[in-house]
Chain A
Amino acid sequence: MDAVDRTLINELQDGIPVAERPFQGIANELGMTEQAVVERLQGLVDAGVLSRFGPLYNAERLGGAVTLAAMAVPEARFNDVVELVNGYPEVAHNYAREHVLNMWFVLSTEREERIEEVLDDIRRRTDLAVYNMPRQREFYIGLRLAV
């Protein structure tokens, strides 16, 4: 990753416009062609430096719902439960964390009721407790990741 990559990552976290040629501004700023910008970005996606490039949807604003859920999974069953939980398309992120509650996943569903359906389904199939921790309030955040 070089200075151009870093600039692209830092600047493009804020977003591109909806316009015929949305990379024109950043290309001019960096003295590059738009084609070169696009190829750099594709390279960063392919290398896994960017997990993706595109619209960040707000599921709640689309009439859907989001929650964070946590489980205490016995170590011997961990991989099986990962597979079971990740098998739900509604599971957007899943992290192993060092705690008694060692699995934390984000559920994103189109319908509010679907949250409890999926959590109940996971409780039933694993016979484990699933703690539902929906956000009750989001606090304002100033910055983005600087690299």
Chain B
Amino acid sequence: MTPWDDACHKPDPVDRAIIRATQGGMPLSVRPYHTLAESLGLSPSEVMSRLQRMQDNGAIRRIAAVPQHYALGIHANGMSVWDVDDARVDELGEQVGMLDCVSHAYRRPRHPPQWPYNLFAMVHGRSRGEVENHVAEIARLLGNACHRYDILYSSRLLKKTGLRLGG
């Protein structure tokens, strides 16, 4: 838990203009924050200080390249889902998150009887065989704390955008 877990950055109208202008991507230029500032009618120093503040308080995770897995040959995207003893799920979830093959790991609510799973671990690979090997590794780690599991492969990406601020 970080000190920021309950903190919140309330964006003011200028922050919101910056967020709206960049949530789908930033202009790519040698001085991108200057290009952005110009398009918003703000000074570069104001844009940079606001971005830095949002990064410092966690409202921005990072300013970075976001790869498209499919385009990179990472065709198998398996969402592995696990029914793990409630008493052990947090301790084991931490260990699952540390595995090299796992890109996200979360505890989420069950919806019995349709959905008995409480631990989600996203596993990526170049093939389903690769994903299944990774999943077997997770199964070994969870041992008898896990009662059943499944792998949900994505068959189609239907939509992907960044955060969208309305209004």
CA distance A110 to B163 in the complex (A): 10
- Interface of B, helix, strand, loop or mixed by DSSP: mixed
Q: How far is the CA of A101 from the CA of B19 in the complex (A)?
A: 33
B150 with A92: CB separation less than 8 A: no
Residue ranges of A at the interface with B (Cβ–Cβ < 8 Å)? 8-9, 12-23, 34-35, 38, 41-42, 44-45, 47-59, 61-64, 68, 70, 82, 85-86, 89-101, 103-105, 108, 110, 129, 131-143, 145, 147
Q: Are B98 and A142 in contact (CB under 8 A)?
A: yes
Instruction: Determine if B158 and A95 form an interchain contact, defined as CB atoms under 8 angstroms apart.
Output: yes
Chain A residues near B155 (CB-CB < 8 A): 96-98
Q: Do residues B94 and A56 form an inter-chain contact, with CB atoms below 8 A?
A: no
A51 contacts B48, C-beta separation under 8 Å:
no
* A134→B110 CA distance, assembly (Å): 10
Q: Are B152 and A98 in contact, with the CB atoms below 8 A?
A: yes
Chain A residues contacting B100 (CB-CB under 8 Å) are 142-143
Write the chain A residue with the least CB distance to B4: A61
- In the complex with contacts A22-B33, A108-B163, A41-B64 CB distance below 8 A: no
